[in-house]
Amino acid sequence: MKAVVCTKYGPPEVLHLTEMAKPVPKANEVLIKVHATTVTVGDTRMRSFTVPRGQWLGARLYLGIRKPKRTILGMELAGEIEAIGQDVTRFRPGEAVFASTFEVGFGGYAEYKCLPEDGLLAIKPANLSFGEAAAAVGGGMTALRCLQRGRIQPGQKVLVYGASGAVGTNAVQIASRHLGAEVTGVCSTANLELVRSLGAVRVIDYTRDDFTGDGPIYDVVFDAVAKVAPSHAKKALKNTGVYLNVHKDSDAPAKVRGAALLAVKELIEAGKLRPVIDRVYSLDQIVEAHRYVDGGHKRGNVVITVGQADHENQETSS
Ligand SMILES: NC(=O)c1ccc[n+]([C@@H]2O[C@H](COP(=O)([O-])OP(=O)(O)OC[C@H]3O[C@@H](n4cnc5c(N)ncnc54)[C@H](OP(=O)(O)O)[C@@H]3O)[C@@H](O)[C@H]2O)c1
């Protein structure tokens, strides 16, 4: 099969397309023919080994001391089940699925991936293309898990900082259309209209205005890009308000993550949530895609089509 490998840490050019053996599912695994994956900021950080100083050793031990030990990046994917192991009962060959590879050492940048049937895997939302479905996984689950910690009530004022990123675009939609909050989105000038279209009743351009300027008026402030000092963000919170941070509030046990993926699927099928797609590249354009995401300004998600997915993406999107 074709796969993109990352055999050393560095700039996008360290990624290269290669041929390798197609994986064979174990008894409890499904073999997925991947149609789409994504480039997240997490993928680019693992490629370049860009981690906060205090996490250097832990991250190096996990990712590989001298070079990456998990050579195929790609945390999200969508595709079709081609084969199943003998003990698999939840899925059948031919079913379209979307999944996170976060718990199994990544691996979306390949034509095939094996996942345990009880992993972060679910039937693909019927109303999304494979590309959209791959992009729906991480940002949707992360935004949902963080916002759940805010115990948001309908009508409450919620501010989403970094509203144009993968997590932010999901958070604006979930907070407004699912939780019934009055959402203010903070983004740059070019993204004001996008964020408004996702359900924000108010938008603040961070390049011109400081969102704390109105004083402590929000019930929840969610920093979806972890770019604001917590002490500054808290100036916008009411006394009883809740501060949420994408890095500190997105952790959850596997069972909760599984439930979040199913909840994201339900929200998508109910028409309350749709991933925002910025650019689409093919697997052999992975270097270009990583260069773009390295820039730090993607709007929503960057999708990578794998194999013949372009045609299938169009057929299954509605
Ligand atoms: N995506 C996931 O699945 C996931 C999962 C868990 C954790 N996380 C973490 O969550 C954080 C956000 O991830 P993401 O995938 O949502 O990021 P992202 O999509 O790469 O974020 C890009 C967006 O951030 C905005 N941005 C950049 N600098 C900004 C600033 N100073 N103020 C406000 N907005 C700014 C950019 O808008 P402008 O161009 O307008 O500046 C752009 O639209 C990352 O630290 C990531 O590690 C992500």
pLDDT, position 254: 83
**Tens digit of each residue's pLDDT (9 = 90 or more) over 50-86:** 988 888 999 999 999 999 999 999 999 999 999 999 9
Ligand 1: which of 98, 167, 203, 298 to mutate, judged by most atoms within 8 Å of the beta carbon?
167
pLDDT, position 315: 42
Q: Is the CB of 140 under 6 A from ligand 1?
A: no
**Residue appearing with tokens 């796969």:** 3
Q: Is the CB of 194 under 6 A from ligand 1?
A: no
Mean pLDDT of the chain: 95
Q: Is the CB of 191 under 6 A from ligand 1?
A: yes
Sequence ranges of the chain with CATH classification 3.40.50.720: 139-245
User: pTM score, two decimals?
Assistant: 0.95
Residue 298 has pLDDT above 60, yes or no: yes
Tell me, in angstroms, the distance from the centre of ligand 1 to residue 186's CA: 12
The CATH class given to the 2-137+274-316 domain equals alpha beta
Q: Is the CB of 301 under 6 A from ligand 1?
A: no
Sequence ranges of the chain with CATH classification 3.90.180.10: 2-137+274-316
Paired with 30 in beta bridges are: 84, 115
pLDDT, position 308: 66
The 10 Å CB-count burial string (b at 16+, else e) for 79-108 is bbbeebbeebeebeeeebbbbbbbebebbb
Architecture of domain 139-245: 3-Layer(aba) Sandwich (3.40)
Band (253; pLDDT cuts 50, 70, 90): confident
Ligand 1: which of 75, 164, 225, 276 to mutate, judged by most atoms within 8 Å of the beta carbon?
225
Band (188; pLDDT cuts 50, 70, 90): very high
pLDDT, position 198: 98
Tell me, in angstroms, the distance from the centre of ligand 1 to residue 227's CA: 8
